[in-house]
Structure 1
Amino acid sequence: MKRVLLTVLLVLIVLTACEAKNRTVDYPVITKSFPEIIEPHNPEQAEQSGDVVVLHGGMRNGDKWNTFMKNVKKKQQDQVRVTMYTIEGGAIIHELIYDGSAIQSTYDNSRDAYGSKQEVKTDICKGIGTMKSEQGRIFYVLTGCEKEENPFWMPKL
């Protein structure tokens, strides 16, 4: 399973490659703050906090993801926090803030045993698209990202 995940991540990195621009980026204004993360941030706590929770084979609070996607299509500001859980139970958190033209993506895998204990990483992306894996699964991905680090991907359920 780890090999499949690593393969999917590698494919996503290649597919979402974008040209870095030599310009200063104004990060989108946060419209509201996300709820505080309650540790150890298990799936039940994440769901109660309003996160879109992605577990192997399922999603909780999927209506929040659908609303976010509709607002992005309508170019209306919105934000969503997506918490994905690894097979081992580690939480990987993505906070996406859409300002009407770009998406600020904040990536935090510090709660995953195989993740980085370093700082949270932020990137600016132009939009959200879909891609199909070699196994035929469809994933949501961020597109046109400036840094190309830690790409966002989420299974389309």
Structure 2
Amino acid sequence: MKKMVCSILLLTFLFILTSCNASVEEKNPIDKEVFHKTSNDNDNPSVKDVKNVDVANTHGSIEGLERMQNFYHNLQNGISSELRIVHYTIEGDPIVTDLNYKEDTVKVTYDSSRDNFGSGEITSVICSDLLEEVNPTNTSYIATGCSDDFFGMAEILTIEYNLGRQDLFGLELKFGEKLENELNTKTKEATHINASKTRTTSDFKLSTPVKQEVFKKLIMANYLGELDLKTTCQSEDSKEYYLKVYINGGDRDYHWSSCDQGSDALKFTEIAEYMILQSEMEQTESPETVIQGYILQVEDDTLLIGVDLNILDYELLKDEIQHIDLSAYVFDFISLEGVKTDEFKIGDKIETIIKGSITGSNPGIAQVKDIMRLDISVTR
């Protein structure tokens, strides 16, 4: 009898406890909120002493870039999301940036506690939006409408892919069932075999804009990182690819099959097919050069612009431009002549077609053939 009474009392207690817990959850619905994780736990970047890393920026080699893109996409669609980014210092210490988007605000938290040469602080700033600014040679993600930060902005991640800053860039691509076709910008030879016919070109080349686009795609695919590419597939229609990239004083090679559906292989297949498509088109160096930039000075019929700056770069430079030696900066500056300057003002982002060539450097000098003002949203 005592055992029965005890059992009834125990069941009653558990029922009351369960009811209380349910009541607490209903009174605190925020505890139920589900954040969209931009990462896949099985293939996150590995960083010593830092867990749950989504994006790792190792001096420009960026692993997990697609998660940054996914976070931006979620934010644009009002989906609550979290993202963790690690930047490495020159000494190799990790600096952590956490993004937390919820209810139209972005909380940005900086953690430098693992930086042996830094302040060791953990600080946060609340922002209202995230800007993706795409330039011809770089892409930046910048939090805007921020409290307690420079110019109300915080630079989250920048991806550089300026081919003009490389000393050498060459490409060798072999493709086909037995890698029988070849495109080679170093030897300037191309071989296409189709229906037992061989077509060989001894003056093969890819134009500078095409090579710039290939370089951008390689950077976005993290070509210098550890990749997972497969060459063994159970498919009769599979195409083989072999790509060798010559960059400055080194080279990297990659071999994969078209039936490899991994994320790395899909990116490299897109690069290879882009090269193949371009090789079948006439490659002419355009006499017109197109550039983008922010206006830093307006004088008479001349505009001074900073080429491929992002909005935060512009804000940092605009008040200093009168007192600095332009040649000391890593940015490129161009003085555009022949412009109706009354149509433009300092701070405008413009795109211009250059007449002829650019002479000199920092600032270079160029004649304008055509010019238009850009809304920053156009470059997103």
Q: TM-score range by the shorter chain?
A: 0.5 to 0.7
1:121 aligns with 2:123: yes
Indicate the residue corresponding to 1:10 in structure 2.
none
Secondary structure in structure 1 of the residue aligned to 2:115: coil
Secondary structure in structure 1 of the residue aligned to 2:99: strand
How far apart are residue 100 of structure 1 and its match? Answer: 3.7
How far apart are residue 138 of structure 1 and its match? Answer: 3.5
1:105 aligns with 2:113: no
CA distance in 1, matches of 2:94, 2:57: 10
CA distance in 2, matches of 1:131, 1:115: 29
How far apart are residue 64 of structure 1 and its match? Answer: 1.6
The alignment yields a C-alpha RMSD, in angstroms, of: 3.1
Q: 1:94·1:152 contact (CA, 8 Å) conserved in 2?
A: no
Secondary structure in structure 1 of the residue aligned to 2:68: helix
Per-residue CA deviation, residues 63-105 of structure 1 (Å, 9 max, x unaligned), is 2212111101111111100111122111111110001401011
1:95 aligns with 2:134: no
- Structure with the bigger percentage of strand: 2
Change (3 A) 1:64 1:145: same
Correspondent of 2:61 among 58, 61, 71: 58
Change (3 A) 1:131 1:114: farther
**Where in structure 2 are the equivalents of 1:10-29 lying within 5 Å?**
none
Indicate the residue corresponding to 1:18 in structure 2.
none
1:145 aligns with 2:146: yes
How far apart are residue 130 of structure 1 and its match? Answer: 4.2
Change (3 A) 1:132 1:64: closer
Q: Which amino acid aligns with 2:64?
A: N
Q: 2:53·2:85 contact (CA, 8 Å) conserved in 1?
A: no
Secondary structure in structure 2 of the residue aligned to 1:66: helix
Secondary structure in structure 2 of the residue aligned to 1:92: strand
Change (3 A) 1:107 1:50: closer
Secondary structure in structure 2 of the residue aligned to 1:116: coil
How far apart are residue 127 of structure 1 and its match? Answer: 1.0
Secondary structure in structure 1 of the residue aligned to 2:46: helix
Change (3 A) 1:71 1:129: same
Question: Mean Cα displacement is larger for which, 95-104 or 147-156?
Answer: 147-156
Per-residue CA deviation, residues 19-77 of structure 1 (Å, 9 max, x unaligned), is xxxxxxxxx98856x9xxxxxxxx62369734211111211122221211110111111
Change (3 A) 1:95 1:48: closer
**Where in structure 2 are the equivalents of 1:69-88 lying within 5 Å?**
69-88=72-91
Aligned pair count reads 118
Q: In terms of Rg, which structure is larger?
A: 2
Indicate the residue corresponding to 1:37 in structure 2.
none
Structure 2: any 5+ residue segments left out of the alignment? 1-29, 38-44, 160-219, 221-380
CA distance in 1, matches of 2:69, 2:139: 16
Question: Mean Cα displacement is larger for which, 68-77 or 145-154?
Answer: 145-154
Which of 1 and 2 has higher RCO (CA within 8 Å, sep 6+)? 1
Q: 1:50·1:61 contact (CA, 8 Å) conserved in 2?
A: no
Secondary structure in structure 1 of the residue aligned to 2:73: helix
CA distance in 1, matches of 2:103, 2:78: 5
Secondary structure in structure 1 of the residue aligned to 2:79: coil
Q: 1:138·1:155 contact (CA, 8 Å) conserved in 2?
A: yes
CA distance in 2, matches of 1:138, 1:62: 11
Q: 2:140·2:155 contact (CA, 8 Å) conserved in 1?
A: no
- Structure with the bigger percentage of helix: 2
Q: 2:84·2:96 contact (CA, 8 Å) conserved in 1?
A: yes
Percent of aligned pairs with the same amino acid: 25
Q: 1:52·1:82 contact (CA, 8 Å) conserved in 2?
A: yes
Secondary structure in structure 2 of the residue aligned to 1:155: strand
1:67 aligns with 2:70: yes
Q: Which amino acid aligns with 1:90?
A: D
